[in-house]
Amino acid sequence: MTNIGILGAGRVGTNLAGKLSAAGHHVTLGSRNPEDTAARATGLAPRIAFADERTTARTTDIVINATPGDSSLDRLTALRAELAGKILVDVSNATRDSADGLPGDLCHPGSSLAEKLQARLPDTHVVKTLNTMLFMVMTAPETLATPPTAYLSGDGEDAKKTVTGLLGDLGWQPEWIEDLGDITTARATEAMILIVPHILRRHGFTPFAVSLAR
């Protein structure tokens, strides 16, 4: 059992919280207004705890960033002390919206949010994963007709090993996990978001992942 904190109580955060808690982990869902979140997420209580973002980062061992990517850099940099020595699993996408509200462009072209987070949080092991699929696939990869891919990017080999274990708890088979290398490889997987709005406009929110086929 690991003490896992999840920042952001939206679709991604609550979905991950439910599955990781069911897998036996102690989960704290961190949000800007924990009381409102607890009242909303009645299906998750009492199995998981609710706290503000700073308390969540301070009191847990692995922290997942499931907050809006375009503002994540400042939000997480402010938690530098709380995140020191921990693994930060970044599943966010840092994009600017198009007129229809879907992701339009990258906030960090020529770089990535994950690289910038690692630079701002030198005492934290940043691992990028799961940002290349709709949220429901993150916790139910076996439901797709074609086996999906979960990419991993990060400088710390031990940290990536730990995150691989968590992916297993979410239902990911080892052969579906592709370790691309160090944190600079997140530049490639963050850019994959550019295909997502086009798929959504054609097919709606039907579950999919941007995967490798061999």
Ligand X SMILES: NC(=O)c1ccc[n+]([C@@H]2O[C@H](COP(=O)([O-])OP(=O)(O)OC[C@H]3O[C@@H](n4cnc5c(N)ncnc54)[C@H](OP(=O)(O)O)[C@@H]3O)[C@@H](O)[C@H]2O)c1
- CA dist 157 and 131 (Å) reads 20
Rounded to whole angstroms, how far apart are CA atoms 12 and 178?
A: 21
The distance of closest approach from Cβ of residue 72 to ligand X in the complex, given in angstroms and rounded to an integer, is 7
Nearer to ligand X, 93 or 139 (CB): 93
Order of strands, sheet of 125-128, starting from the edge strand that comes earlier in the sequence: 49-52, 26-31, 3-7, 62-65, 87-90, 125-128, 150-154, 177-181
Report the nearest approach of ligand X to the CB of residue 67 (Å).
4
* Residue 194 CB burial class (10 angstroms; 0-12, 13-18, ≥19): middle
* Cβ closest to ligand X, residue 36 vs residue 158: 36
Strand 95-97 relative to strand 125-128, pairing: unpaired
Q: How far is the CB of 163 from ligand X (least distance, A)?
A: 15
- Provide the minimum distance between the beta carbon of 113 and ligand X in the complex, in angstroms, as a whole number: 9
DSSP letter (8 states) at residue 12? H
Nearer to ligand X, 11 or 161 (CB): 11
Residue 103 CB, nearest approach to ligand X (Å) = 7
Q: How far is the CB of 69 from ligand X (least distance, A)?
A: 4
**Integer Cα distance of 68 and 62 in angstroms:** 19
Interface positions with ligand X (CB under 6 A): 8-13, 31-32, 37, 66-69, 71, 91-93, 131, 134-135
Which single residue is written with the structure tokens 């274990």?
Answer: 165
Query: Tokens in use for 124?
Result: 């934290």
Q: Which is nearer to ligand X, 24 or 146 (CB)?
A: 146
Of 23 and 192, nearer to ligand X (C-beta) is 192
Ranked by CB distance to ligand X, the top (closest) residue is 10
- Residue with smaller CB distance to ligand X, 135 or 172: 135
Alpha helices, DSSP H, located in the chain: 11-22, 34-40, 53-59, 72-77, 80-83, 113-120, 135-138, 157-169, 186-191, 196-203
